[in-house]
Chains A and B, each alone.
Chain A
């Protein structure tokens, strides 16, 4: 079956540091890939997505590239801010059920 593996957190960075959160997946075919973000006390918001190999999703300074050869979708940001402190979830879309399979989430803490 499908699965998503994310690096464990928490990840603690200073403001303006470079961020990478690793995500790899196992799936049949080539599913769409997503990063969702959950701010404290809130629901999930779509951060970015990529629907096919070599696509790059980007939003709010975050980027991730769909790498078919390494089955990865790592999240990056060049300069994090305190306001980026949240939990980040990598996910893939099951093409049959159109349901999401999530990684376990990575908590990011950015210190001033």
Chain B
């Protein structure tokens, strides 16, 4: 099993550009999450999904959109990137029963 994978690993954008980050998991997990990691702030929840076709906002959702069209995939979109969105983005998933989240390797995004 690959676990949780993220694409791409690195990306540099200019202000105003758009992009989509892809998260895939092969563990048949119901719940999926997008977090961002900023220096000195730990990880903060952007959006999450409790199942295929569902999405919900986390603590820092502004400027992001998400979609969960297939159970194994969770997409994070930036419609108009801003320098404040420079961060490392982590995807995670968890089964419906159990309490351990599994994380992807992260995507380092720089917005100039």
Contact A104 B42 (CB under 8 A): yes
Contact B42 A42 (CB under 8 A): no
Chain B residues closer than 8 Å to A99, beta-carbon distance: 33, 45, 48, 58
How many residues of B are counted as interface, with CB atoms below 8 angstroms from the partner's CB atoms? 24
A-B contact count (CB 8 A): 53
How many residues of A are counted as interface, with CB atoms below 8 angstroms from the partner's CB atoms? 22
A60 within 8 A of B: no
Per DSSP, are chain A's interface residues mostly helix, strand or loop, or mixed? strand
Contact A104 B101 (CB under 8 A): no
| Interface 9-residue window, one of B15-23, B68-76, B79-87, B103-111 | B103-111
Give Cα A57 to B53, complex, Å: 35
Contact A51 B42 (CB under 8 A): no
Give Cα A80 to B101, complex, Å: 26
Give Cα A49 to B92, complex, Å: 17
Contact A98 B42 (CB under 8 A): no
Contact B42 A93 (CB under 8 A): no
Contact B56 A43 (CB under 8 A): no
Quick one: CB contact mask for A34-64 with B, threshold 8 Å, 1 for yes? 1010000011111001010000000000000
A100 (CB) vs chain B CBs: closest residue:
B101
